Amino acid sequence: MPTFGDRLNFLRKSKNIKAEDLAAAVGLKRRIIFHYEKNESKPSFDTLIALADYFDVSLDYLVGRSDDPRRH
């Protein structure tokens, strides 16, 4: 099952978004995005919501609990 870091990396790269652009959009530093993508740190719940909103995916998809990205 994919991890949060795997999903974040996939979403960002599939939409050709630079880490610094994603970080700026959700109020983080670029290095934090890389730490998340490498599964070296875990986001707060507020950050998870901001990322799910940014990519328009469900929280379950973002954290690897579902393969369906749609929000219900």
Summarize pLDDT for 20-56 with one digit per residue, the tens.
999 999 999 999 999 999 999 999 999 999 999 999 9
Residue 4 has pLDDT above 80, yes or no: yes
Q: Which of 15, 2, 8, 6 is nearest to 66 (CA)?
A: 2
Q: Give the burial class of 14: count Cβ atoms within 10 A of its Cβ; 0-12 exposed, 13-18 middle, 19 or more buried.
A: exposed
Q: What is the dihedral of CA 46, 42, 25, 67, to 10 degrees?
A: -90
Q: How far is CA 22 from the centre of its chain?
A: 9
Q: Break the chain into its structural domains and give their ranges.
A: 4-57
d(CA 36, CA 71): 22
Q: How confident is the model at residue 68 (pLDDT cuts 50, 70, 90)?
A: confident
Q: What is the CATH number of domain 4-57?
A: 1.10.260.40
Which pLDDT belongs to residue 71?
Answer: 78
